[in-house]
Structures are given as C-alpha cells and as structure tokens.
Amino acid sequence: MGYRIAIVGATGNVGHEMLNILAERQFPVDEIAALASRKSIGTEVSFGDKTLKCTDLDTFDFTGWDMALFAVGSEATKKYAPIAAKAGCVVIDNSSLYRYDSEIPLIVPEVNPEAVHDYKNKMIIANPNCSTAQMVVALKPLHDRAKIKRVVVSTYQSVSGGGKAAIDALWDETKSIYNPTDNTAQDVFTKQIAFNVIPHIDKFMEDGTTKEEWKMVVETKKIVDKNIKVTATCVRVPVFVGHSEAVNIEFEDFLDEDEARDILREAPGIMVIDKREDGGYVTPIECVGDYATFISRIRQDSTVENGLNLWCVSDNLRKGAALNAVQIAELLGRECLKKG
C-alpha cells in the first residue's frame, strides 16, 4: 500500500519538478492529486507517463490524504496549509512561512533527519531556502569533524529562484539587447539582469542585509548548529538554473584540505569534482537536472588559523526545492508513516 499525495501548485516550476522527481524516484504512490488555483483548473501536468488534470485547491478535501507538498507562496500557504494539517494530511511546505517557527521542523534529510519526528507538533514540515539547502549539505559533515565557528558565503543565484516571471525577464532582456526593436519592459528585477549581476535578493532589512541573506543565517543555525556564525551576500546572476556559492569556513579545530575532500566524498548527497586544472570544477550549467550538490575548489585559507574555502553548486529547483521536499516525504514515510 502506497501513499496518497497532493501537489499544491502543480503548474509552477517547483510543482512540475516535484511531480518529475516523485516519478523518477519511484515514490510509492497510490493516488496523486495535482492542485492549483481556480484559473488553472483542467490544466494538464505530467507525472511519469501519466497525465494529470489540475483540480481546484480552494474546494479540495485533504481528508484521507497522507502528504501535501506545497509549492505556492506564503499567502496561499497561510490559507491552505492549516486546512490540510487539520484534516490529518502532513504538509511539506516550500515557502518561507513556517521555517522560523520553533515548533515546526526545518529539514534537510542529509543533515538533520531526526527532526522529522517533530512533524506531529503541527502536522507541518518546512523546506529550507534554496541557497541554504545546498550549503548545509556541505557544512554538516565538516562540522561533525572539526566544529565550524564561522561561515562567510557569497552566492551567485540563478533567476529561476525568482519563478517563471524571472526566467522570462532574463530571456526577454537578452533578446532585446541583441534586437533593440524588441524592447521588453519588465519589473521583476530592480536593475537589468541580462549581462549583469544584482546584489539584491528579496527585501532590504533595517541593518542593510537582505531577507535572503537573513534566511541563510537563521536557517543554518536552526538546521546545523545555533552557535555557528554566518554572514552572507546574496547576488542574482544571469543564469537560468543552478545556484553557486563561494563558501569560506572557519573551524575550531584544524582540518586539512585533503581530509575535508575525503569527508565530502563520503557524505550523502555530495559529489566532489575538484581537479586543479582547467575545467576541473563544476559550474551551474553542468548541475541542471542532477540530484547532487557539487563541491569544487577545496583549499586551505591561510588568512585564519583553521580555515577552508570551497565552491558549492546545485540545481536550485531540485535540491533547493523539489528534491529536498520529496526527500522529506521519503524520510517521513520511512521513519514515521511507514506505508509503501
């Protein structure tokens, strides 16, 4: 006997990926529902070799359903997630709404799988921010060995993190530069994104950080260790899919770069591609469609007593969103619900 799964926001980029990954990983599904807003009723989406028609989220009855994977914004989640949870359906939420609630587990299965049992608090599990998810997969095995004191991270985040409108904006701006008669106005970004980089993701906060940067700080502490100090600079770059991060780590104990490389090679969810030669590293375009978080450029930082630098790349629509949600569903099923 398998699970009854609902995908909330099935017509969006992340919703599509959730359906693809559930099929790819042969998740034990008895029944699956594709849910969307009223305007998308009847829209067809793919699930493996099957075609599903979207039904109305507003009138859907979650009673008897095991899990609902939410891939909608915070406002819609705020309305519908409590309805699903009250009906006994466990919500796995990709929005930022519940990440900072102390009673709701924030989970990356390779890092803090034990937290899954706390789903019973509110019948909700939170999925972390895309930039946090890939970084903590790399931090955790190193932290277990040498205890991390401080992390300095600069991100190079693809436009797909901003949704379909952001992808369209990059495409349209790029075309309009090559064909000036095709002047496409857009208000997705604060500045031109084509052939540019923008050091601004989400809203500015009073101290000058952006909400995206704040998320990385708070989520790393919640998932890995509250005592780790984190400072982040998050930048949007003209790449369609795949987030990259330059990560500087300071440890309490010395960790040799060769040992760090060996630790990461053995760590779940990580692929180390680290050759000190032309092309001996991974770039965003190479990680698209892959499950792994790729680590390259591992090297000692001689400016501090116990420091390392590394380069971290992952498909943000997968590990940063849909894959992590499906992995949480697998973990929940295996450890708690035990069907299938």
**pLDDT-derived band at 187, boundaries 50, 70, 90:** confident
Does the pLDDT value for residue 293 go beyond 90? yes
**Residue listed under structure tokens 């630098």:** 309
What average pLDDT does range 184-190 have in this prediction? 82
Task: Point out the residues that are catalytic.
Answer: 130, 243
**What is the pLDDT, as a whole number, of residue 182?**
64
In whole numbers, what is the pLDDT of the chain averaged over residues?
96
DSSP string, 256-285: -HHHHHHHHHHSTTEEE---SSTT-S--HH
Q: Does 186 have pLDDT greater than 90?
A: no
pLDDT at 328: 98
Indicate the pTM of the whole model: 0.94
Write down the pLDDT at residue 183: 64
Q: Give the sign of the dihedral formed by CA 183, CA 188, CA 192, CA 196.
A: negative
Would you state the structure tokens that stand for residue 243, as one six-digit string?
Answer: 């987030």
Query: Tell me: the pLDDT tens digits for 46-91?
Result: 999 999 999 999 999 999 999 999 999 999 999 999 999 999 999 9
| Arithmetic mean of pLDDT, 176-184 | 78
- In this model, does residue 31 exceed pLDDT 70? yes
pLDDT in tens, 308-335: 999 999 999 999 999 999 999 999 999 9
For the stretch 59-93, what's the b/e string if a residue is b when 16 or more beta carbons lie within 10 angstroms of its beta carbon?
Answer: ebebeebbbbbbbbeeebbeebbebbbeeebbbbb
Tell me the pLDDT band of 340, cut-offs 50, 70 and 90.
Answer: low
Sheet holding 55-56, edge to edge: 55-56, 29-36, 3-8, 67-70, 90-93, 124-126
